[in-house]
């Protein structure tokens, strides 16, 4: 969620048009079961903790790493969140790795021209 909101703020700030102000947007979260197959989901180990793979704004090295995992037959990557300490993230290469998807939380946010207000 933190990553999603960061990118929304970046886009909205870049296109700071009046039409976007006071617009209410919706985020619908979903829960599902992770299905790990033969190759498994590659875990970024703690040795990457302070590497460029965890750069906050430059994803170029993480993309190269992800491409290498994909090219070797990996199904995705399990890594620590850089925006929400203690949380885990998954970058999955195939949608069928998630099953039993159900709707979960719903969030609304409003762009006020400078920041998002989540409610």
Task: Report percent pLDDT > 70 for the chain.
Answer: 78
Average pLDDT score over residue span 87-92: 85
Q: Are 78 and 114 in contact (CB under 8 A)?
A: no
Decide if pLDDT at 72 tops 60.
yes
Contacts of residue 39, defined as CB under 8 A and 6 or more positions apart, other chains included, come to 73, 74, 75
Structure tokens at 14: 């870049």
Quickly state the pLDDT bin for 102 (edges 50, 70, 90): very high
What are the φ/ψ torsions at residue 35 (nearest 5 degrees)?
-105, 110
Give residue 18's pLDDT: 53
What does pTM read for this prediction?
A: 0.66
Contacts of residue 67, defined as CB under 8 A and 6 or more positions apart, other chains included, come to none
Quickly state the pLDDT bin for 64 (edges 50, 70, 90): very high
């Amino acid at each position: 969620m933190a990553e999603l909101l960061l990118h929304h703020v970046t886009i909205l700030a870049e296109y700071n048009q009046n039409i976007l102000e006071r617009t209410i947007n919706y985020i619908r979260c979903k829960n599902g079961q992770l299905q790990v197959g033969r190759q498994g989901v590659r875990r970024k180990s703690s040795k990457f903790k302070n590497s460029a793979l965890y750069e906050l704004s430059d994803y170029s090295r993480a993309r190269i790493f992800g491409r290498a995992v994909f090219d070797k037959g990996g199904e995705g990557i399990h890594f620590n969140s850089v925006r929400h300490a203690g949380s885990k993230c998954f970058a999955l290469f195939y949608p069928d790795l998630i099953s039993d998807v159900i709707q979960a939380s719903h969030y609304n946010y409003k762009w006020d021209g400078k920041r998002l207000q989540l409610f």
